[in-house]
Amino acid sequence: MRQVHVALGSRSYDILVSRWLLPELGSHCRRLGFGRRCALLTDSRVGPLHGRVALRSLRQAGFDPVLVSVPAGERAKSIRHLADCYDQLAVHRLERKSFLVALGGGVVGDLAGFVAASYLRGIPFVQVPTTLVAQVDSSVGGKTGVNLAAGKNLVGAFWQPRLVLCDLETLKTLPDREYRSGLAEVIKYGIICDPTLFRRIEQRMPAILQMDSLELAWVVARCCTIKAEIVSQDETESGLRAILNFGHTVGHALEAITRYGRYLHGEAIAIGQMIAARISQQLLGLPPADVERMERLFKSANLPVTIQFSKDQLQRLCAAMKLDKKVAGGQIQFVLAERLGRVRFGQSVPWSLLITILNAPSGLRDAPRCRRVAPTCLR
């Protein structure tokens, strides 16, 4: 079993990475000294697949769990389902010493985390992520929340879990497309700060795609280690943590204008990362060879790297980007790469360059080269 520590003083916790952790959920929770009553929050797809093992494990460890289920998919991250969850916890009399277990992907983790952050002004929670996106990213670091009609993740809180259990075995039931979507976040860690990880993924993509358990354990633990280090230095994203948003400015906007129905999160983020790479090539001199390696790697995971926008889509994309939380003083802030493994956050990008690149998705080599702008922030 691999163990990663997230060092946050009194809010510190461990991430455990291994196969067959779900049957041990109860005993791991018992060590944390929670009260007997708990809720297992899951969704309509994950519940039937893994809920029974989780509930049995909790009961065997002496807990008294209730099952709370939300519909599968992004729509569960809403004020409506948040209110339903509060009602269920209240009906089942969960108290301050009670705890919540989030069993599912990033949607369940973000929703459950915010329920835990706000119900009775905060109760403890445990993350049991069952998608690759959730195991390498969303379950770690304490960002929780729900979406509004106006945009993604606009209501939320920082609320750290008490434990994260990444059971690699649960990924076996994940649809292939969802699994590959998670690889976009894995590749992101290589780009933002670990060229060795990037190279290893390049070399071992076939084993990763086949979910080779040794390879997968190494990759998941490495990504969690990187995230843990970043979060330990900047829990609430006052600076460094922003580098985790590489590719997300365009990616989130793309998800929003396609109403979360066309692209999976990782797919949108793959396209967003390639657009950020092309902007980086223009503004920070990211070597074209690095851009090509990124594109090849995303393609080898069968992820999309380009999109042809219509005029109307482009307008809606720009409007959606302006709503992003990363907007500061009306200026959209990008994370850009200097080279593989080194990025800068807080980079203002001229609208004219952004539009040029969005209009020439794969043709950066053809796009006019801009004058370099001074970095506003350096990692």
Residues that bind ligand NAD (CB under 6 A): 43, 45-46, 49, 72-74, 77, 104-108, 110, 130-131, 133-134, 137-138, 141, 143, 152-153, 170-171, 173-174, 178, 181, 265
Q: Which residue has the tokens 């009602």?
A: 87
Contact partner, 131, from ligand GLY, ligand NAD, none, Cβ < 5-8 Å per class: ligand NAD
C-alpha 361/C-alpha 34 separation (Å) is 51
Residue selected from 222, 241, 326, 344 as contacting ligand GLY according to rule CB under 6 A: 241
Closer by beta carbon to ligand GLY, 141 or else 266: 141
C-alpha 327/C-alpha 348 separation (Å) is 10
Residue 97 annotated to the active site: no
Is the separation of the CB atoms in 339 and 290 below 8 Å?
yes
C-alpha 322/C-alpha 13 separation (Å) is 35
326 belongs to the binding site for ligand GLY (CB under 6 A) = no
Helix (H) or strand (E) holding 89: helix 79-91
Could you please report the per-residue DSSP string of 5-34? EE--GGG-EEEEEESS-GGGHHHHHHTTT-
Closer by beta carbon to ligand GLY, 143 or else 152: 143
C-alpha distances out from residue 107 to 70, 110, 135, 317, 373, Å? 10, 5, 12, 23, 37
Is the separation of the CB atoms in 292 and 300 below 8 Å?
no
152 belongs to the binding site for ligand GLY (CB under 6 A) = no
182 belongs to the binding site for ligand GLY (CB under 6 A) = no
Minimum CB distance to ligand GLY, residue 247 (Å) = 11
Contact partner, 241, from ligand GLY, ligand NAD, none, Cβ < 5-8 Å per class: ligand GLY
Residue 185 annotated to the active site: yes
Residue 311 annotated to the active site: no
Name the active-site residue from 188, 241, 326, 344. 241
Residue 241 annotated to the active site: yes
Is the separation of the CB atoms in 12 and 162 below 8 Å?
no
Residue type, 313: Q
Q: Which residue has the tokens 């209009």?
A: 359
Closer by beta carbon to ligand NAD, 178 or else 215: 178
C-alpha 137/C-alpha 186 separation (Å) is 9
Contact partner, 295, from ligand GLY, ligand NAD, none, Cβ < 5-8 Å per class: none
| Through-space distance between the first and last CA atoms of the chain, rounded to whole angstroms | 32
Residue 227 annotated to the active site: yes
Residue 265 annotated to the active site: yes
Contact partner, 341, from ligand GLY, ligand NAD, none, Cβ < 5-8 Å per class: none
C-alpha distances out from residue 101 to 25, 37, 62, Å? 9, 11, 15
267 belongs to the binding site for ligand GLY (CB under 6 A) = no
Minimum CB distance to ligand NAD, residue 111 (Å) = 9
Closer by beta carbon to ligand GLY, 137 or else 255: 137
Is the separation of the CB atoms in 266 and 183 below 8 Å?
yes
190: number of Cβ within 10 Å: 24
137 belongs to the binding site for ligand GLY (CB under 6 A) = yes
Task: Give me the residues that bind ligand GLY (CB under 6 A), please.
Answer: 137, 141, 143, 237, 241, 244-245
Q: Which residues are catalytic?
A: 121, 143, 185, 227, 237, 241, 245, 248, 252, 265
